[in-house]
Amino acid sequence: MENFTIHVFGYGETQINSKDLSVKVATDTLTTVTPLLAGVFAKKPADNPTLVTEFHAVNLFGYNDVRWMSNESFDVKDDANLKLLIDNLIAELQTAKDNEVVAPFTPKVAKA
């Protein structure tokens, strides 16, 4: 898969969008998110004080543009070492979609 966007939201959901796969899943159901986040965080600049537990979102725009969004954001560009971790997450998201393990949807009901 080449053209995709993945968002790992700090509030607890992970989403992928591509022409072949679109799904949002509760992050705590995914085993591959933690290794990926650890791999991205390991690339954090030494002078950046953010903590691994502090992020609004981690956005992946394909394999070559990863953005850790927090009060002290940072980017990781063109890091081939992350590709396998990203592929593992994509495969797990595909399995979740195939098994319909998606984040719960609660419709808002208008009050009379």
What does the pLDDT read at residue 68? Answer: 95
Give the C-alpha separation, 8 to 59, whole Å.
6
Domain ranges of the chain: 4-98
What does the pLDDT read at residue 52? Answer: 83
Q: Supply angle C-alpha 79, 23, 91, rounded to 5.
A: 50
Overall pTM surpassing 0.75 (yes/no): yes
Average pLDDT over residues 62-67: 96
Residue 2, pLDDT > 90, answer: no
Question: If we measure between CA atoms, which residue out of 2, 1, 23, 6 comes closest to residue 66?
Answer: 6
